[in-house]
Chains A and B, each alone.
Chain A
Amino acid sequence: GQSLEQPSEVTAVEGAIVQINCTYQTSGFYGLSWYQQHDGGAPTFLSYNALDGLEETGRFSSFLSRSDSYGYLLLQELQMKDSASYFCAVRDGASGAGSYQLTFGKGTKLSVIP
């Protein structure tokens, strides 16, 4: 089966940088996604890594190392509005060809403090 591990909670100061790690175990790995979810809101897509390396999108960056089954989300210049839960999700074909199932981690609750 698939399993993902990420820290349950992280606290960081406004304006700082925070890194949220994710390690995974899966078969038929296709890529690692990150989603943001504010309390009571819908998960929203942040980034996707299919290959090793760093992907940058504005203040957010995501990194993947397939050999280490590891990735992270980097948030820079933290703002209060970044307080939310962040989920890593593995995209795999374990359920069969053409089945791009997304398996989510339990999420990391980020609290940004003044």
Chain B
Amino acid sequence: EAGVVQSPRYKIIEKKQPVAFWCNPISGHNTLYWYLQNLGQGPELLIRYENEEAVDDSQLPKDRFSAERLKGVDSTLKIQPAELGDSAVYLCASSLTPTTYEQYFGPGTRLTVT
């Protein structure tokens, strides 16, 4: 069974540029999560999807971040414009249902903003 797939694995951009991250969850997983992980910290939830509906986006900085999950499968997280403080690892995870306690994480996208 394929795991959660993310691309790109690494991205370096200049500040004020846009950037997008893509995630394909495990097949059949209803719930998809985007997390941000700073160095030496635990993952922090940005947004949670149930199928194509964003049901928890309270931590998403909506002035510059946006996300979508068309057709309830893969998802894209976008930052526009990027700031220096956005440098971090962006993790995508999925779970079978919203109440399933086990989440499966992808390898993440390491973003460096210069």
B25 sits at the interface (CB 8 A): no
Q: For A42, what are the chain B residues with a Cβ–Cβ distance below 8 Å?
A: 3-4, 91, 105-108
Cα-based distance from A50 to B45 in the complex (angstroms)? 21
Chain A residue at smallest Cβ distance from B93 = A43
Show the binding face of A for B, using Cβ within 8 Å. Answer: 31, 33, 35, 41-45, 48, 50, 87, 89, 91, 95, 98-107
| In contact, B56 and A87 (Cβ under 8 angstroms) | no
A106 near B105 with CB under 8 A, answer: no
A107–B101 CB distance below 8 A: no
Residues in B neighbouring A107, C-beta threshold 8 A: 40-42
In the complex, what residues of B have CB within 8 A of residue A89's CB? 42
B14 on interface, CB distance cutoff 8 Å: no
Which residues does chain B contribute within 8 Å of A31, judged by CB atoms? 101
Would A33 and B56 count as touching, CB distance under 8 A?
A: no
Per-residue contact bits, chain B 40-71, to A (CB 8 Å; 1 contact, 0 not): 11111100100000011010000000000000
Residues of A within 8 A of B44 (CB): 104
B72 at the interface (CB under 8 A from A): no
Interface string of B85-112 (1 = CB under 8 A from A): 0000001010000110111111110000
Contacts of B99 in A (CB 8 A): 100
Contacting pair A104 B42 (CB below 8 A): yes
Contact for B56 among A35, A48, A95, CB less than 8 A? A95
